[in-house]
Amino acid sequence: MNSPTMKKLKVVWLCHFVSPEMKIWFDKPEQKQSAPWIDNLIQLFKNDNNIELHIVAPNVFNNKNISFSKDGIYYHFYTHYLNIIPRKIYNYFLFREITKFHSIKNRIHKIINSINPDIIHLHGAENPYYSVGILPFLSKSPTLVTIQGFVRLSVIPKSKRAAIVRNARVSIEDKILKKAEHFGVRVKYMEKLMLEINPKAKFHFHRYITDTPALVKDKNLESKYDCVFFARIVKDKGIEDLLEAISKIKNNIPEVSLAVIGPVSGLYKNYLLNKCNKLNITKNVSFLGFLPTESDVYKVASTAKVSVLPTYHEIISGTIVHSMFLKIPVVAYNVGGIPEVNDEVESVFLVEKHDIEGLANKILLLLESESLRNKLAETAFNTANKMFITDVKSDILNAYNKIIS
């Protein structure tokens, strides 16, 4: 423990999140929770006598510059689009993308300079509406960039406008990953990808906090759905492949049911509904939308027999980790860092990418055997506890000290 005369370690987190606590502060109960792993991590650093933690994040509630402290943590929320222009127009003409997020970068630069931190910790290089703020500091300040995902791996959109948005994100992500030196990683696959981008990268292992162990699936809970999909509802998360797999399973189980949970654009949802209609599975699929909190997602997911995530690319999906802790057996594509959960023992069923027939067969195998579901779920739960329960705070502080020294 630091003595009273020792200087606190001053840390800035660049991130984006919406927590239940923030919804109370801003009186916006309707705002959806996002990036819950950041909120879980914040809880570890509240009222810490050795750390002065400053969180710099976009103000998604009222888009104003607001700073305050709570429970020993300093919050600095900034405007992330120009209030003088109606937001719909601002977004339609892609002002942020066209200007390379220049105004946001300057705003964050001023905030961080006023704090004068010992180290800056960026949580995710793929989101330029905050990650762009680290660029001016990469060559002159101690920094840690924790990898959340790689937008460069996402499917290139057919829409010209969507492609511009993606390319702007990739461009800034690329600058950060090539220029930064220290990276937070949580699976070996992250190191492999990063070394291809930046051969001089140095790695610091740390997990994010998951609160799912307290919400293990109740074995007495009545199953409401056969399958559940909970993730962002986009093409490269494999939702279309899953719908086709459900249509095949329906030949064996006519009443097979699928719950789809997550955010989706209105246009894409209509496309998926039409696809369900063509596949004759409209009555088999329930689109439940973006639920308010992570806990709400777990409660619904726990009523399913099988969790399915046929994502086309993935580091290590929170959907899979949470399902393992919830004792819901998992079927996924054999991509990215997902196979690492099977390094010691088969903990999830894996299928080669785009093998829809294989996907349907693995799901069907689990749906038809309760004993197999229970066995896989128990194995996965034990693996999750071994792989993902670590002293996250110590790992992060050790990384800070190594980087600063």
Domain containing residue 262: CATH number: 3.40.50.2000
Supply the pLDDT for residue 178: 97
Domain of 114, in residue numbers: 9-207+390-404
Task: Return the pLDDT at 142.
Answer: 98
Do 320 and 336 fall within a single domain? yes
Asked whether residue 4 is domain-assigned, the answer is no
CA distance 186 to 25: 32
Asked if 260 and 333 sit in the same domain, the reply is yes
Assess whether 50 and 82 both reside in one domain: yes
* SS3 (DSSP) at 47: coil
pLDDT of 162 above 80 = yes
The verdict on residue 3 lying in a domain is: no
Buried (b) or exposed (e) across 246-275, using 16+ Cβ within 10 A?
bbbbbeeeeebbbbbbbebeeeeeeebeeb
Residue in this structure with the two tokens 């002065």, named with its chain if needed: 52
Residue 381: per-residue pLDDT: 94
* Beta bridge mates, 54: 12, 74
d(CA 164, CA 327): 40
Same domain, 165 and 94: yes
Residue 1 belongs to a domain: no
In this prediction, residue 3 carries a pLDDT of: 46
So what's the pLDDT on residue 263?
93
Answer yes or no: do 71 and 159 share one domain: yes
Helix, strand and coil in the chain, % to nearest 5? 45, 20, 35
Indicate whether 294 and 269 sit together in one domain. yes
Asked if 345 and 292 sit in the same domain, the reply is yes
Together in a domain, 130 and 224: no
Closest CA to 109 of 78, 89, 133: 133
Task: Please tell me what DSSP assigns to residue 264.
Answer: -
Mean pLDDT of 325-329: 94
Residue 2 counted as domain residue: no
Helices (H), 46-127: 87-92, 95-98, 102-115
State how far the alpha carbon of 345 is from the alpha carbons of 290, 360, 385, in Å: 33, 22, 13
Task: Report the mean per-residue pLDDT for the chain.
Answer: 92
pLDDT exceeds 70 at position 194: yes
Is 60 exceeded by the pLDDT of residue 1?
Answer: no
* pTM for the predicted model, two decimal places: 0.86
Banded model confidence at residue 146, pLDDT cuts 50, 70, 90: very high
**How many domains is the chain built from?**
2
Q: Is residue 129 part of a domain?
A: yes
The answer for 94, left when phi > 0, alpha when psi is -120 to 50, beta otherwise, is left
Which residues, other chains included, contact 35 with Cβ-Cβ below 8 Å and sequence gap of 6+? 15, 16, 17, 18, 123
Whether residue 242 sits in one domain with residue 94 = no
Q: Do 127 and 222 sit in the same domain of this protein?
A: no
Q: Are residues 190 and 55 in the same domain?
A: yes
